[in-house]
């Protein structure tokens, strides 16, 4: 615990009256110095790492969940609940344990360290009026860079939602998709499986899941422990079993089946689903450093726990579990890359979790070889780790390209949302719908319709539809009907809207968006897009808590001289503006900000200004899927080709899609075609 937090906790203990206090801590070093606090005989000091989702009273007796009991246990409030967390990632794990915390008049949440790119933990009240009795709120920065948030209530409130509000305040107002299905947690090591989520129920190891009237509070129960679980007694709610020691221990992986598959109940399951997921809301590429230093690091074992060293310096001591936090990532951003050593750890789980966390954060982690027991990483991630070497990472462009591939693979395979899609399927709950992206394609140029639709058709990993606005011409224009039929034959939906030539561009966009069926809107220009463009934007939409995501104009194709230039800029951070042709936002954001303005140009810029004015966040992700087409005329960006050549760090003859090797395939429209003014931002 930081010295700056000690006076806060002592003061809080002094004003809680005659009621008992609960002081908890979670994360490496968070419990340091708590023993010196002036606790009374009725108070409790609890290490949440040892208690978990179910396994201790925490001043609140477990609820009686027997059929017909209808009880909720001892719900007496306490005078103070304090949660001291080493990092924001640890605080989000504490939220997942909050079902065991009592109601309170006074909540103190302490972050002993901060990454530097998260907001202050300013909470937003829950939506049901629970905080109308709020008396006072304080947020202050500690001397060593951490944060403390204090909330005082005239009437006691549920601690879980209040703690969730504090943790969410540090990430941003936009919460993103919820973890589905609804999960009841049981076991001391269950919290990392749904970080940042207040569990609806914390049943006993044998069940059942608590009911509200006749309906269970969760769709599935997750039981995590080191010992064999008792028979599950709930016939309505299925259970998933995960061990924190046996299957992913050195002894467990050396049996006859080896690392290839882990068997449970006669079913063969994906080994990756036996790893706790990465909390993508905090372990992500936000804050990635493109121009890193020359130093290399090594992920190695020291006393059985993972550490990252560079030469004789220890850059970061990771938790014994191997779970990387946002603070760890911030300490490692300046390294050019990190090589993995696979031996010496207390078990395979810490090194596997460390590698996945580093990859999800975009840290260029690599290895000379990947042992067979590391199969839970997944085949694709394992292959990526061995695809580069230290020399390869010396090139800034190659390093960033590798980082993009790593983060994409790790987040799609091991993030919380991805993990629970797989676990929900294993529990036979059936798939839930993915958000649909409506691609808005407005053009005045019939000769580019086929090219643009072919690029949309190449998009991978996303459910999409196209709303095509033909601005000033009809589907009977040469080649247009054939292009539309070719796209529709691929199985994706397309809606065609013919706009009058005299309509203002902003009005055409709004009429196009009104025909969209998706919950997410993506604007598409006649630039060049890689096949992961939309899927990567959707990832950033989740992990960046952003209202608008896009990328910068780093890669530009100068059509007049047939040359591609790279002008690197900052990415993976909140900004004021992104390139209009890469803009992706939720439909509800468009509605809240008044849709596109009825202007002939600059409508994307005006939308982003409106988002910022409303308190929203615009986020710039990497630009490796997007190549801006720079024509000789028709831009509001008035600089000539010399401007782009002068600032270019690298350039190539011909057209290279976002810096990726090779030219664009034949069939892309060539130089010399100009865009009419007003159709691009």
Tokens 């608590």, residue located: 210
Q: How far apart are CA 318 and CA 352, in angstroms?
A: 12
**C-alpha atoms less than 13 angstroms from C-alpha of 9 in its C-beta half-sphere:** 30
Give the ranges where 531-661 is alpha helix by DSSP (H). 533-543, 587-592, 603-613, 641-647
Domains of the chain: 5-177 (no CATH), 245-428 (no CATH), 436-659 (3.90.550.10)
389-425, pLDDT tens digit by residue?
Answer: 999 999 999 999 999 999 999 999 999 999 999 999 8
CA 30 to chain centre: 25
Tokens 């609804």, residue located: 182
Residue 139: predicted pLDDT: 95
161-175, pLDDT tens digit by residue?
Answer: 999 999 999 988 777
Taking a C-beta distance cutoff of 8 angstroms, is the pair 587, 599 a contact? no
4-16, pLDDT tens digit by residue?
Answer: 688 889 999 999 8
446-482, pLDDT tens digit by residue?
Answer: 999 999 999 999 999 999 999 999 999 999 999 999 9
User: Quick one: pLDDT band at residue 56, thresholds 50, 70, 90?
Assistant: very low
Q: How far apart are CA 424 and CA 430, in angstroms?
A: 7
Helix (H, G, I), strand (E, B) or coil at 503: coil
Q: Quick one: tokens of 223? A: 């039981």
Taking a C-beta distance cutoff of 8 angstroms, is the pair 352, 372 a contact? no
Integer angstrom CA distances of residue 100 from 7, 48, 114, 187, 276? 26, 10, 26, 12, 21
H or E segment at 153? Answer: strand 147-157
Burial of 163 from C-beta contacts in 10 A (0-12 / 13-18 / 19+): buried
Residue 265: predicted pLDDT: 34
Helix (H, G, I), strand (E, B) or coil at 415: strand
648-680, pLDDT tens digit by residue?
Answer: 889 899 888 754 544 444 444 443 333 333 333
User: Quick one: pLDDT band at residue 27, thresholds 50, 70, 90?
Assistant: very high
Q: Which of 23, 199, 173, 194 is nearest to 110 (CA)?
A: 23
Taking a C-beta distance cutoff of 8 angstroms, is the pair 218, 199 a contact? yes
Q: How far apart are CA 522 and CA 520, in angstroms?
A: 7
Q: How far apart are CA 81 and CA 93, in angstroms?
A: 16
b vs e for 504-524, b when ≥16 Cβ sit within 10 Å of the residue's Cβ?
bbbbbbbbbbeebebebbbbb
Residue 671: predicted pLDDT: 38
Integer angstrom CA distances of residue 542 from 248, 282, 513, 546? 29, 11, 22, 7
H or E segment at 332? Answer: helix 326-332
| Cross-strand partners of 316 | 308
Q: How far apart are CA 677 and CA 681, in angstroms?
A: 9
User: Quick one: pLDDT band at residue 159, thresholds 50, 70, 90?
Assistant: very high
Taking a C-beta distance cutoff of 8 angstroms, is the pair 411, 443 a contact? no
DSSP string for residues in 92-149: HHHHHTGGGSPPEEEEEEEES---SSSPP------TTSTTTTEEEEEEEE-TTS-EEE
Mean pLDDT (whole number) for 431-448 = 92
Residue 430: predicted pLDDT: 79
What does residue 675 show for φ and ψ, rounded to 5 degrees?
-95, 135
Q: How far apart are CA 181 and CA 404, in angstroms?
A: 29
584-624, pLDDT tens digit by residue?
Answer: 999 999 999 999 999 888 899 999 999 999 889 999 999 99
Q: Which of 654, 659, 656, 652 is nearest to 671 (CA)?
A: 654
Helix, strand, coil shares of the chain as percentages rounded to 5? 30, 25, 50
Taking a C-beta distance cutoff of 8 angstroms, is the pair 248, 376 a contact? yes
For residue 208, whether the previous peptide bond is cis, meaning omega lies within 30 degrees of 0, is yes
Mean pLDDT (whole number) for 215-233 = 87
User: Max alpha carbon distance in the chain (Å)?
Assistant: 85
Residue 21: predicted pLDDT: 94
What does residue 520 show for φ and ψ, rounded to 5 degrees?
-120, 140
Going through 405-537 in order, the beta strands assigned E by DSSP cover: 436-443, 463-471, 493-499, 520-524, 528-529
Q: Which of 252, 183, 256 is nearest to 224 (CA)?
A: 183
Tokens 């982690």, residue located: 365
What does residue 488 show for φ and ψ, rounded to 5 degrees?
-60, -30
Q: How far apart are CA 289 and CA 626, in angstroms?
A: 19
Neighbours of 653 (CB within 10 A): 10
529-557, pLDDT tens digit by residue?
Answer: 999 999 999 999 999 989 999 999 999 99
Neighbours of 476 (CB within 10 A): 10
Burial of 6 from C-beta contacts in 10 A (0-12 / 13-18 / 19+): middle
Q: How far apart are CA 164 and CA 150, in angstroms?
A: 13
User: Quick one: pLDDT band at residue 369, thresholds 50, 70, 90?
Assistant: very high
Q: Is 428 left (phi over 0), alpha (psi -120 to 50) or beta?
A: left
Q: How far apart are CA 441 and CA 468, in angstroms?
A: 5
| Cross-strand partners of 652 | 564
């Amino acid at each position: 615990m930081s010295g700056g937090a000690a006076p806060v906790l002592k003061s809080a203990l002094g004003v809680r009256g005659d009621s008992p206090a609960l002081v908890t801590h979670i994360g490496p070093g968070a419990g340091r110095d708590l023993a010196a606090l002036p606790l009374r005989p009725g108070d409790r000091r609890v290490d949440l790492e040892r208690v978990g989702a179910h396994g201790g009273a925490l001043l609140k007796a477990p609820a009686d969940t027997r059929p017909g009991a209808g009880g909720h246990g001892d719900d007496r409030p306490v005078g103070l609940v304090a949660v001291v967390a080493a990092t924001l990632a640890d605080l989000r794990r504490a939220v997942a344990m909050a079902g065991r915390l009592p109601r309170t008049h006074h909540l103190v949440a302490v972050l002993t360290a901060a990454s530097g790119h998260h907001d202050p933990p300013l909470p937003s009240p829950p939506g049901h009026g629970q905080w109308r009795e709020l008396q006072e709120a304080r947020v202050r920065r500690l001397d060593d860079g951490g944060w403390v948030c204090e909330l005082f209530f005239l009437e006691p409130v549920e601690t879980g939602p209040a703690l969730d509000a504090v943790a969410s305040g540090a990430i941003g107002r936009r919460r993103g998709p919820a973890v589905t299905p609804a999960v009841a947690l049981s076991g001391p090591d269950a919290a990392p499986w749904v970080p940042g989520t207040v569990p609806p129920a914390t049943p006993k190891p044998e069940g059942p899941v608590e009911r509200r009237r006749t309906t269970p509070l969760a769709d599935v129960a997750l039981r995590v422990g080191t010992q064999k679980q008792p028979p599950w007694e709930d016939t309505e709610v299925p259970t998933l079993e995960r061990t924190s020691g046996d299957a992913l221990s050195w002894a467990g992986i050396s049996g006859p089946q080896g690392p290839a598959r882990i068997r449970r109940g006669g079913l063969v399951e994906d080994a990756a689903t036996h790893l706790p997921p990465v909390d993508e809301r905090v372990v992500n590429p936000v804050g990635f450093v493109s121009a890193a230093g020359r130093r290399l690091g090594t992920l190695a074992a020291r006393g059985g726990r993972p550490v990252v060293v560079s030469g004789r310096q220890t850059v970061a001591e990771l938790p014994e579990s191997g779970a990387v936090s946002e603070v760890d990532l911030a300490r490692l951003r300046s390294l050019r890359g990190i090589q993995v050593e696979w031996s010496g750890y207390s078990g395979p789980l810490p090194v596997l979790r460390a590698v996945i966390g580093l990859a999800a954060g975009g840290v260029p982690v690599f290895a000379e070889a990947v042992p067979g027991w590391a199969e839970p990483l997944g085949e694709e991630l394992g292959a990526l780790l061995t695809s580069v070497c230290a020399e390869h990472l010396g090139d800034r462009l190659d390093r960033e390209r590798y980082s993009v591939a790593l983060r994409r693979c790790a987040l799609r395979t091991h993030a919380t949302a991805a993990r629970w899609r797989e676990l929900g399927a294993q529990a036979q709950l059936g798939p839930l719908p993915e958000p649909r992206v409506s691609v808005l394609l407005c053009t005045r140029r019939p000769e580019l319709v086929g090219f643009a639709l072919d690029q949309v058709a190449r998009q991978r990993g996303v459910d999409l539809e196209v709303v095509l606005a033909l601005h000033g011409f009809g589907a009977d224009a040469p080649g247009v009907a054939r292009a539309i039929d070719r796209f529709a034959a691929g199985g994706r939906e397309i809606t065609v809207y013919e706009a009058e030539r005299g309509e203002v561009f902003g009005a055409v966009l709004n009429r196009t968006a009104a025909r969209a069926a998706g919950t997410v809107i993506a604007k598409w220009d006649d630039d060049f897009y890689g096949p992961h463009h939309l899927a990567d934007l959707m990832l950033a939409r989740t992990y960046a808590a952003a209202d608008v995501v896009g990328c910068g104009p780093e890669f530009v194709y100068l059509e007049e001289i047939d040359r591609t230039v790279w002008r690197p800029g900052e990415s993976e951070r909140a900004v004021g503006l992104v390139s209009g042709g890469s803009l992706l936002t939720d439909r509800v954001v468009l509605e809240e900000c008044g849709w596109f303005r009825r202007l002939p140009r600059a409508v994307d810029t005006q939308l982003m200004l409106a988002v910022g004015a409303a308190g929203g966040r615009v986020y710039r992700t990497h630009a490796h899927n997007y190549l801006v087409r720079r024509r000789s005329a028709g831009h509001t960006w008035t600089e000539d080709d010399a401007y782009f050549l002068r600032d270019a760090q690298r350039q190539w003859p011909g057209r290279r899609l976002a810096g990726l090797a090779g030219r664009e395939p034949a069939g892309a429209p060539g130089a010399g075609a100009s865009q009419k003014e007003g159709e691009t931002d």
